[in-house]
Structures are given as structure tokens and as C-alpha cells.
Structure 1
Amino acid sequence: MKDFTRSQLALRNGAEREEIWIAYQGVIYDVTNSRLWKDGKHYEHWAGQDLTEELADAPHDTKVFEKLHVIGRLIV
């Protein structure tokens, strides 16, 4: 699995580049083709960042990540 920095993840926010990525628990997921992440936004969440701490406020659990394509690993 390829490693990416927070800076590299931040560029995949739907505005800087076409790719739209999010991270959760150290894993980076591609949400580019998700209708729920149009333009890098999903309700009050923004792409290009680690959403681990924000999941507690979400109406869904971690199973949502099972449907997403894994891009790599977020390194700190």
C-alpha cells in the first residue's frame, strides 16, 4: 500500500485536483465517483482530510468505508 502525507491528501479535496480523497483511521479512500461527495463536500464534511474524529457525529457507522476504494495509507 502506498503512503501519502497529509499535504498530499489535502490536494485531493475536489478543488485542487480532480481526485477526491478522504482518510479514516490511517487509510485513504477514493470518493471521486461518489454522488455523496460532489465537489469535495459531504454535508458538513470536507474532502482532503482525515475524518476519523468526525465519524462520531455521522448517522452511519464504519461499514460505509467497506464500499470505498482504498488508495493508500496516511502517514503522520
Structure 2
Amino acid sequence: MKDYSLGQLALRNGQDRPEIWVCYKGVIYEVTESRLWRDGKHYEHWAGQDLTSELKDAPHTDKVFEKFEAIGHLKVK
């Protein structure tokens, strides 16, 4: 899988480009086709960012990411 920077992830927010991506624990997921991520927003969460710290507020576990294709890794400096 390819490495992406925070800046590249941020562009896939459902507003700047048609792709909608989110990151969890360093893995970037393609969520464009999910009806729950329309326009890059899922409840109070926004696409194009690392959601690792926000999962504790979600009514689901990290198993939810199994539904989506992992397309890359977040490049950490």
C-alpha cells in the first residue's frame, strides 16, 4: 500500500475532491461509497483526517473499518 501525508489525506474530505478517505491507527480507508459519509461528514466526524482518537466517542468498535477498503498508510514524519 502507498504512503500518504496528512496533507494528501486532508484533500480527500468529500469537498475538495470526490474521494472520501479516513484514517484509523495509521491505515487509510476509502469510504466514498458509504451512505454514512455523504459529503465527507459522519455525524460530528469529518473525513480527510485521522479518526483514531475519536473512536472512543463512537457507538461502534473499530470492526466497522473491516467494511472498507484499506488503500494506504499515513506517513508519519
Unaligned runs of 5+ in 2: none
- The corresponding residue for 1:51 is 51
- The corresponding residue for 1:73 is 73
Runs of 4+ aligned structure 1 residues displaced above 4 Å come to none
Sequence identity (%): 71
The reply on whether 1:62 has 2:59 as its aligned counterpart is no
The reply on whether 1:20 has 2:35 as its aligned counterpart is no
- The corresponding residue for 1:37 is 37
Tell me by how many angstroms 1:58 deviates.
0.2
User: Distance in 2 between the 1:74 and 1:9 partners?
Assistant: 8
Tell me by how many angstroms 1:62 deviates.
0.7
Superposition TM-score, scaled by structure 1 size: 0.99
Tell me by how many angstroms 1:70 deviates.
0.7
Tell me by how many angstroms 1:25 deviates.
0.1
User: Distance in 1 between the 2:24 and 2:62 partners?
Assistant: 9
Root-mean-square deviation (Å): 0.4
